[in-house]
Amino acid sequence: MKRDPTGFLKKEYKELVEKDLDWKLRVLETGSTPHAVVDGKEVIMLCSNNYLNLSNHPKLIQGAIEATKKYGAGSGSVRAIAGTMKLHVEVEKRLAKFKRREAALVYQTGFAANAGIIPQLAGKGDIIISDELNHGSIIDGVRLTKADRAIYKHRDMGELENILRDADKKYNRILIVTDGVFSMDGDIAPMDEIVKLAAEYGAMTYVDDAHGEGVIGEDGRGIGSHFGIEGKIDVEMGTFSKAYGVVGGLIAGSQDLINFAYNKSRTWLLSGSHPPAVAGAQLAAIEVLETEPQHVKKLWDNTKYFKKELESMGFDIGESETPITPVIVGESSKAKELSNRLFDEGVFALPIVYPMVARDKARIRTMMNAGLTREDLDFALEKFEKLGRQLNII
């Protein structure tokens, strides 16, 4: 039989469209700014990860331009061969200092960090213990290993301890992996307890702090600082693409970890290194975090105000402890409708529906931004209140 070699492309795409599971890409005509133009409409941006609005910070822009002028548009190679520039090394040094760790390593993306290092940390005869709500990139990293896997109920330390007790006798290495800030609910992993349990059983700890870096802890130093356990998490993984306002993944920890990681991570070894512009902007981002604490403060002021007002209107905003604020509305169709109508009224926030969250817990997920003014927030809040009443949510 002569087969149709590419027929599945159209067929599977069509299936996604029919089930309404395809991505309908929204196009930004501006930068990722607090007031952005999306698909031709000016909106208040409540769904970017650009928490501190650093992507628009003059120093970052300047850093990118200067690095480009000086070193060119591309890096020419992978890091391991001829693509490690002084600038890349400088970023890693400054990052380690900021995170108060011995050393740091920058990956091409956050995904590349998780998919690159996790499979090297555990193999046959080892076990990886994972929170049930961990991010997809962790899950993919875990899938690449030959280690056994066990899942514990979200933030359930009792289950984690029981698994550790069971695993203690059976496995060589034990690795506990968790998100720091969970991106759907905005809650935080009890990292202090995880570190304590891990110490008891001789387990390694790994946190994906993508939504915590630049947001929680002293001046945005992340989850270690947040819990007062700096230096005690074996692998602090994060990203430059969220609060830092650029792009790139990172890990921070001991010099041993970094030596091991860059020799073994296939994603790191086999992708081209960041262009000078990226490294220049990363360097500037760290400098801004170190010298301009007002951005983190503004982010939290905005967050507190926004949460307080939503709550007083009668919205259910879940258990978030971070600038991720879910507005829980119930049925999936209602969340989709609220999101569409908010967009029409000039507020951009995405619905999160089943199966990402329980069937009756569909929501609008909002992410705060330090670049939004009080007037902006009042504008968005007014729309939430108006539509919330119209849709019988409040």
Q: Scan residues 161-220 and list those touching another protein (CB under 8 A).
A: 162-163, 166
Known active-site residue 55? no
Which pairing describes strands 127-131 and 148-152: parallel, antiparallel, or unpaired?
parallel
Task: Give the x/- contact pattern for another protein in 133-172, rule: CB under 8 A.
Answer: ---x--x------xxxxxxxx-----x--xx--x------
Give the nearest distance from C-beta 145 to another protein in angstroms. Answer: 9
Q: In what order do the strands lie in the sheet with 350-352?
A: 324-330, 362-367, 350-352
- Of residues 346-375, those binding another protein (CB under 8 A): 350, 352, 355-356, 359
Cα 245 to Cα 57: distance, rounded to the nearest angstrom: 9
Question: How far apart are the C-alpha atoms of 35 and 307, rounded to whole Å?
Answer: 20
Nearer to another protein, 2 or 124 (CB): 124
Q: Which of 57, 135, 211, 361 is catalytic?
A: 211
Provide, rounded to whole angstroms, the least separation between the CB of residue 35 and another protein. 24
Instruction: Work out the burial of residue 114: count CB atoms within 10 Å of its CB; fewer than 13 is exposed, 13-18 middle, 19 or more buried.
Output: buried
Amino acid code (one letter) for 234: D
CB 383 within 8 A of CB 347: yes
Distance CA 108, CA 267 (A): 8
Q: Which is nearer to another protein, 283 or 342 (CB)?
A: 342
For another protein, the closer CB: 162 or 312: 162
Q: How far is the CB of 365 from another protein (least distance, A)?
A: 8
Q: How far is the CB of 167 from another protein (least distance, A)?
A: 9
- For this structure, is 183 an active site residue? yes
Query: Looking at residue 245, what DSSP letter applies?
Result: S
Give the shortest CB-319-to-another protein separation in angstroms.
19
Question: Of the residues 226, 242, 274, 295, which is catalytic?
Answer: 242
Phi, psi for residue 87 in degrees, rounded to 5: -65, -40
How far is Cα 319 from Cα 239, in angstroms, rounded to an integer? 24
Q: Report the distance separating Cα 52 and Cα 285, nearest Å.
A: 10
Q: Which is nearer to another protein, 47 or 229 (CB)?
A: 47
Please state, in angstroms and rounded to a whole number, the distance separating the CA atoms of residues 293 and 14: 49
Q: Which residues face 252 on adjacent strands? A: 104, 236
Phi, psi angle pair for 344, to nearest 5°: -60, -30
Neighbouring CB atoms inside 10 A of 12's CB total 10
Neighbours of 25 (CB within 10 A): 6
233 vs 247, beta carbon nearer another protein? 247
d(CA 217, CA 190): 14
| Token pair belonging to 208 | 């994906």
Exactly one of 130, 183, 265, 339 is catalytic; which is it? Answer: 183
Cα 168 to chain centroid, rounded: 31
Instruction: Assign residue 386 a region (left: φ > 0; alpha: ψ between -120 and 50; beta: otherwise).
Output: alpha
Sequence letter at residue 267: T
> Per-residue string for binding with another protein, 20-49, x by CB under 8 A?
-x-x--------------------------
Give the C-alpha separation, 390 to 394, whole Å.
9
Minimum Å distance from CB 136 to another protein?
4
Active site residues: 183, 211, 242
For another protein, the binding residues (CB under 8 A) are 21, 23, 136, 139, 146-153, 159, 162-163, 166, 350, 352, 355-356, 359
